[in-house]
Amino acid sequence: MLADLEELVTCESYSADHAAVARSAQVVAAQGGRLLGTPAQTLVIDGVSHVQWTFGTPRVLLLGHHDTVWPIGSLKTHPWSVEQGIARGPGVFDMKAGLVQMFHALASLPSLDGLCLLVTGDEEVGSGTSRRLIEDLARQCAAALVLEPSAPGGGLKTSRKGVSAYDITVHGRAAHSGLEPEKGVNAATELAHQLLALQHIADGVTARTGPGTTLTPTLMSAGTASNTVPARAELHVDVRVPNAAAQEAVDQLIRTPQPRTNGARLQVDGGPNRPPLEADASRELFALATEQAAQLGLGPLRQAAVGGASDGNYTAGAGCPTLDGLGAVGDGAHADHEHVLTAAMPARARLLAHLVGALR
């Protein structure tokens, strides 16, 4: 398993580099083909490479991704290593170890009939080219098992917040800031008003749908010169919601902003991206996984609700029962301390194999 993990990690696969993702897809296809005994189908959609296996009529979807957030060259600063039971390297935890565990788990089964495996190449950037594929497959299946990394301590992810993204643009009017500022319409000032209004939206949604909704301003820009009243200002807002009702409420409220600055005009673009993975979608699968873990003597499983999203949000949104976080045990996704606890890899593979067997 460690040799296979090294093969995947040392083939860098930064999401934005489609050529690198294509090379990674070849390595994933070859490794999976060797362990599963069946060649993969490589799907290239808008330049992004995804890898798929289908065995018979799909009833269980196993889902992962091979792209990472790490730019090409990260191996020089974060080299592959295994020391004292800890594997390190770009993407080792999120989520190349999960792919290795999946391949080895399925290789242990006497039959793969009824399974579909999909390893996408753009999850880290929102799954723009793979979303329709994921949702179409999920609608055909009775369960989706997502090999994203576990929650801290190895917990399975039984709920994830939904994600929406908005770009708020303020259109003002430029003027010389020293000679005649009164002739301008300051887009930056108006944007400040809109920043403050976001908290009121969050509070209103919380009152209507319960706690857990956040609207976080992230990227922001305004103006073109230090002596000019800004004619344009832009703000990106990251929204996380615990349930579908909250996602809809945010969408309704954020699309009707009221300008506070005379002459300013507001434009709102964007909307919901990933629907929430709500606890009901995972409840029965988590109970089944708990039974299998007990039979294997792996100890009680823990579950976690997390704010980050995955492609499991899409499968749940398509109406397919979904259990996430079945991948590696470790920590540090997207961070310098990203790592995997190697001793946990065989046990997680056994758990996945037994869970798949119970579902079929």
pLDDT tens digits along 22-39: 999 999 999 999 999 999
- Per the DSSP assignment, residues forming a β-bridge with 117 are 53, 62
Lay out the sheet containing 48-55: strands in order across: 41-45, 48-55, 115-120, 60-65, 143-146, 322-323
Model pTM?
Answer: 0.91
The DSSP secondary structure of 136-205, one letter per residue, reads HHHHH-SEEEE-PPPPGGG-EEEEE-EEEEEEEEEE-B--BTTT-GGGSB-HHHHHHHHHHHHHHHHHHH
Rounded CA-CA distance 62/327 in Å is 11
pLDDT value at residue 21:
98
Task: Enter the tokens of residue 106.
Answer: 């399925």
Query: Where a domain ends, among 243, 274, 305?
Result: 274
Query: Where a domain ends, among 246, 274, 302?
Result: 274
Rounded CA-CA distance 228/250 in Å is 34
The radius of gyration computed from the CA coordinates of the chain, to the nearest angstrom, equals: 23
- Same domain membership, residue 76 and residue 126: yes
Q: Which domain holds residue 185?
A: 162-274
CATH number at residue 336: 3.40.630.10
pLDDT value at residue 62:
98
- Same domain membership, residue 170 and residue 99: no
Residue 105 in this model has a pLDDT that exceeds 90: yes
- Same domain membership, residue 355 and residue 306: yes
- Per the DSSP assignment, residues forming a β-bridge with 45 are 48
If you average pLDDT over residues 128-152, what whole number do you get? 97
If you average pLDDT over residues 328-335, what whole number do you get? 97
- Same domain membership, residue 124 and residue 92: yes
- Encode pLDDT of 49-58 as tens digits: 999 999 999 9
- For the chain, give the longest Cα–Cα distance: 81
Looking at every residue in the chain, the average pLDDT score rounds to 97
pLDDT value at residue 360:
85
- Encode pLDDT of 173-224 as tens digits: 999 999 999 999 999 999 999 999 999 999 999 999 999 999 999 999 999 9
User: How many domains is the chain built from?
Assistant: 2
